[in-house]
Copies of this chain bind each other. A is one copy, B any other.
Amino acid sequence: MKKTGPEAKLLVVDDEPNIRELLSTSLRFAGFDVVAAANGRDALAAAETHNPDLAVLDVMLPDMDGFTVTRRLRAAGRHFPVVFLTARDDTDDKVTGLTVGGDDYVTKPFSLDEVVARIRAVLRRTHPLEDDDAVIRVDDLELDDDAHEVRRGGEVIDLSPTEFKLLRYLMMNPNRVLSKAQILDHVWEYDFNGDASIVESYISYLRRKIDRNPNAVALIQTKRGVGYLLRTADKR
């Protein structure tokens, strides 16, 4: 009935059409069943109709704020968790109470992959029945999302936040070429308007840390003119 991984049903609520579409599309692609709403009123109605497993909820809505929506949902007996979206200068230090219970929040502008990861983490926490692990494995590489830790052959590797997100994106898509544009879109914040060459730099940083053994087969491979891919041992 309640599903944690893909196929869970999500309610996405944001009044900005761009953000709403961006989120709906990526979440759908990530395997979720998505229902969208543009304001609090519609959100409440949609929650009644579709009974989602989780809501992604902008705290600044035209008709009522996200907290009010949440309170009304809960009062109506809907106890699914919420991932709030907040403006960065809102939350940076002040706004509290967003992480009570199984809830969490993400600041705008966000990275799409980060939102997906946070949603998965919340679903994992609130429905611990499923043996859906927080650890992604590719060969002897392990990425633990809960502990925010990466290990290669059991040895801990220290990564910066951006390196971590990049590696997670690669590991979520093993043996598949990812273009620099794709990587930018998924790993960097959606308003980033720098050069795609930054991906090259970060791939380089990652290689230095996880592919440091020159004798072993490299995990991160370049497909010239196309993109990068993370290769598993059995697919070589």
Contact = CB atoms under 8 A, between A and B. Distances in A.
A126 B29 contact: yes
Given A100-B22, A146-B175, A175-B147, A161 B225 contact: yes
A101 B17 contact: no
B18 A161 contact: no
A196 B148 contact: no
A206 to B, nearest CB: 17
A33 to B, nearest CB: 11
Interface in A150-200: 156, 160-161, 175-177, 179, 181-182, 184-186, 190, 192-193, 195-197
A195 B92 CA distance: 9
Nearest to A191: B96
Interface of A: 1, 3, 17-18, 21-22, 24-26, 28-29, 70-71, 74-75, 79, 91, 93-94, 96-103, 105, 112, 125-126, 128, 146-148, 156, 160-161, 175-177, 179, 181-182, 184-186, 190, 192-193, 195-197, 223-227, 229, 231, 235-236
